[in-house]
């Protein structure tokens, strides 16, 4: 078990390229396991790198490759911001930035029944999570968790601005001790919704004077 | 006269069908690969790797509901991490334990009174001081006396 970790440990923090292999003999006893995150893939007895980036480690046994990309990865149970593009019968078509539009059923909202339909119009922003998300099927969004509660998902944002960022910045914003979030917090009160598909929505109430002073500060570079 | 299949016959047919279907399923006959599968677990998302927090955030009280949600979702995540530790943290309660005990006591009393028969209700109020039910009521229970002509 230690030999397995040792062969990973010597590369932690180093840049790895696709095709690099970690080969080790798996211990016969079935205790312990290794979790590989994005960027690492199992290939028979070896673990192969398929993305270029830096190897990271989290206790006790999680290894992954930290890399940057802009293309949206549609993955299970990711929370994303979607834009409703069409309403066809009982489902809404939602654009999440992937190659296909996701479908969102009108019953997948908290407190929605056949008689009590949710108030969702074309062009609304929804924050939801994927239940089906793989490359073979049409992605499916829901705005409700497995217990039936909304937990912050659903339609949001009548005012505010939506913009696109790279996925790496997304992850930095959502990191547990995010410095960006702390810095932004000091400036003014605002609300932020971050989707794992690279979309960020923010809303704030500033008077135009406050905005002007803020822009001046940014222009001077004093922020 | 047999109208349909026997239950036994039906079971047999079902089993045969299942066997045929499972024979048609293809699977890898490599027990070694299966053993190794359990050792290396693949995660496809960054969220568990980097402990990403919930996506809705509100700062400085802009949206109080979202702030409540942030606390809820992020402590929920922390609780999952702390499962291995044996710290039993006390939940924040609105009322103290003593008050809860007192309320419960009076609740039990009132429920008992509600379901007691009319004759026993007065007995209960008499015995209210005896909290531990030490004094047992030894009077004979009043039964129906048939009138004697």
pLDDT tens readout for residues A132-146: 888 888 999 999 888
Q: Is the pLDDT of residue A94 over 90?
A: yes
Mean pLDDT in residue range B68-72? 86
Please indicate, yes or no, if residue A73 is contained in any of the structural domains. no
Q: What is the CATH number of the domain that holds A107?
A: 2.40.50.140
Q: Does A176 touch chain B (CB under 8 A)?
A: yes
Please indicate, yes or no, if residue A122 is contained in any of the structural domains. yes
Instruction: Write down the pLDDT at residue B116.
Output: 86
By Cβ distance, the residue of B41, B44, B62 closest to A75 is B44
Using CA atoms, how far residue B22 sits from A118, A144, B19, B31, B33, in Å, is 44, 36, 5, 18, 21
Instruction: Indicate the SS3 state at residue A216.
Output: helix
How many CB atoms within 10 Å of residue A22? 19
Reported confidence tier of residue A126, pLDDT bands at 50, 70, 90: very high
Per-residue pLDDT reduced to its tens digit, A56-68: 888 778 888 888 8
8 Å CB contact of A79 and B54: yes
Domain count, chain A: 3
Whether residues A152 and A91 share a domain: the answer is: yes
Displacement of CA A100 from its chain's centroid (Å): 17
Instruction: Write down the pLDDT at residue B114.
Output: 87
Please indicate, yes or no, if residue A57 is contained in any of the structural domains. yes
> Which A residues, 55 through 114, put their C-beta within 8 Å of a C-beta on chain B?
56, 58, 62, 64, 75-79
Q: Which tops the pLDDT comparison, A45 or B100?
A: B100
Q: Is the pLDDT of residue B137 over 90?
A: no
8 Å CB contact of A33 and B40: yes
Helix axes B97-115, B118-126, angle to 10 degrees: 140
8 Å CB contact of B33 and A44: yes
User: Cα dihedral angle (A85, A88, A92, A95), rounded to 10 degrees?
Assistant: -30
Mean pLDDT in residue range A76-93? 89
8 Å CB contact of B42 and A41: yes
Whether residues A82 and A151 share a domain: the answer is: yes
ipTM of the complex: 0.73
- Helices (H) then strands (E): counts for chain B: 6, 2
DSSP letter assigned to residue A95 = E
In sign, the C-alpha dihedral spanning A195, A199, A203, A206 is: positive
HSE, CB side, 13 Å, CA atoms: give it for residue B40.
Answer: 27
Distance CA A8, CA A59 (A): 13
Reported confidence tier of residue A75, pLDDT bands at 50, 70, 90: confident
Residue of B nearest to A150 (CA): B69
Instruction: Write down the pLDDT at residue A103.
Output: 93
Displacement of CA B23 from its chain's centroid (Å): 41
Instruction: Write down the pLDDT at residue B61.
Output: 81
Residue of A nearest to B54 (CA): A174
Q: What is the CATH number of the domain that holds A57?
A: 2.40.50.100
Residue B86 C-alpha, separation from nearest chain A C-alpha, in angstroms = 18
Find chain B residues with C-beta within 8 A of A79's C-beta: 54-55
Global pTM reads 0.67
Tell me what the pLDDT averaged over chain B comes to: 76
Per-residue pLDDT reduced to its tens digit, B78-88: 776 555 444 44
Instruction: Write down the pLDDT at residue A1.
Output: 60
Q: Does A177 touch chain B (CB under 8 A)?
A: no
* DSSP string of A109-175, one letter each residue: STT--SSS-----TT-EEEEEEEE-STTS--EEESS-TTS--TT-EEE-SSSEEEE--HHHHHHHTS
Instruction: Write down the pLDDT at residue A105.
Output: 92
Instruction: Write down the pLDDT at residue B87.
Output: 42
* Residues found in chain B: 149
Distance CA B41, CA B38 (A): 7
Find chain A residues with C-beta within 8 A of B52's C-beta: 171, 174-176
8 Å CB contact of B43 and A36: yes
Whether residues A83 and A116 share a domain: the answer is: yes
Q: Averaging pLDDT over each range in A127-141, A144-158, B41-55, B108-122, which range is the top one?
A: A127-141
Instruction: Write down the pLDDT at residue B33.
Output: 61
Please indicate, yes or no, if residue A72 is contained in any of the structural domains. no
Of A45, A66, A87, the residue at which a domain comes to its end is: A66
Q: Is the pLDDT of residue B3 over 70?
A: no
Find chain A residues with C-beta within 8 A of B67's C-beta: none
Q: What angle do CA A133, B39, A67 make, to 5 degrees?
A: 50
Please indicate, yes or no, if residue A39 is contained in any of the structural domains. yes
**Residue A177, domain extent:** 161-220
Instruction: Indicate the SS3 state at residue A18.
Output: coil
Per-residue pLDDT reduced to its tens digit, A102-118: 999 999 888 888 888 88
Q: Is the pLDDT of residue B129 over 70?
A: no
Instruction: Write down the pLDDT at residue A127.
Output: 92
Instruction: Write down the pLDDT at residue B93.
Output: 64
Distance CA A76, CA A11 (A): 29
Mean pLDDT in residue range A159-183? 84
Per-residue pLDDT reduced to its tens digit, B20-67: 888 888 876 766 666 666 677 888 888 888 888 888 888 888 888 888
Q: Which residues of B touch A (CB under 8 A)?
A: 33, 35-63, 66, 69, 73
Instruction: Write down the pLDDT at residue B92.
Output: 60
Please indicate, yes or no, if residue A71 is contained in any of the structural domains. no
By Cβ distance, the residue of A33, A37, A156 closest to B39 is A33
Q: Is the pLDDT of residue A49 over 70?
A: yes
Please indicate, yes or no, if residue A34 is contained in any of the structural domains. yes
């Amino acid at each position: 078990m230690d030999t397995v970790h040792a062969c990973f440990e010597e590369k932690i923090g180093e840049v790895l390229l696709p095709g690099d292999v970690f080969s080790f003999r798996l211990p016969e006893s079935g205790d312990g396991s290794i979790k590989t995150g994005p960027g690492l893939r199992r290939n028979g007895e070896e673990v192969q790198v398929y993305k270029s980036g830096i190897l990271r480690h989290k206790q006790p046994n999680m290894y992954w490759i930290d890399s940057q990309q802009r293309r949206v990865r549609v993955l299970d149970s990711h929370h994303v911001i979607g834009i409703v593009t069409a309403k066809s019968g009982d489902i809404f078509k939602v654009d999440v930035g992937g190659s296909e539009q996701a479908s969102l059923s009108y019953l997948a909202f908290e407190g929605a029944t056949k008689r009590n339909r949710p108030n969702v119009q074309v062009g609304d922003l929804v924050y939801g999570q994927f239940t089906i998300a793989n490359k073979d099927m049409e992605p499916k969004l829901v705005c409700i968790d497995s217990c039936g509660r909304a937990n912050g998902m659903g339609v949001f944002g009548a005012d505010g601005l939506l913009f696109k960022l790279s996925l790496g910045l997304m992850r930095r914003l959502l990191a547990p001790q995010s410095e960006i979030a702390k810095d932004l917090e000091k400036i003014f009160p605002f609300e932020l919704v971050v989707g794992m598909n690279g979309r960020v929505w923010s809303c704030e109430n500033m008077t135009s004077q406050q905005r002007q002073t803020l822009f001046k500060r940014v222009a001077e570079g004093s922020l | 006269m047999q109208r349909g299949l026997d239950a036994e016959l039906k079971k047999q047919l079902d089993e045969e069908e299942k066997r045929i279907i499972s024979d048609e399923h293809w699977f890898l006959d490599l027990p070694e690969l299966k053993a190794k599968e359990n050792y290396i677990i693949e995660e496809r998302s960054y969220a568990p790797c980097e402990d990403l927090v919930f996506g809705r955030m509100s700062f400085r009280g802009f949206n109080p509901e979202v702030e409540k949600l942030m606390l809820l979702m992020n402590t929920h995540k922390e609780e999952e991490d702390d499962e291995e530790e044996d710290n039993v943290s006390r939940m924040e309660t609105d009322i103290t334990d003593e008050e809860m005990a007192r309320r419960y006591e009076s609740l039990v009393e009132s429920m008992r009174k509600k379901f007691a028969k009319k004759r026993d209700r007065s007995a209960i109020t008499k015995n209210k001081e005896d909290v531990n039910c030490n004094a047992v009521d030894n009077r004979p229970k009043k039964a129906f006396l048939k009138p004697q002509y």
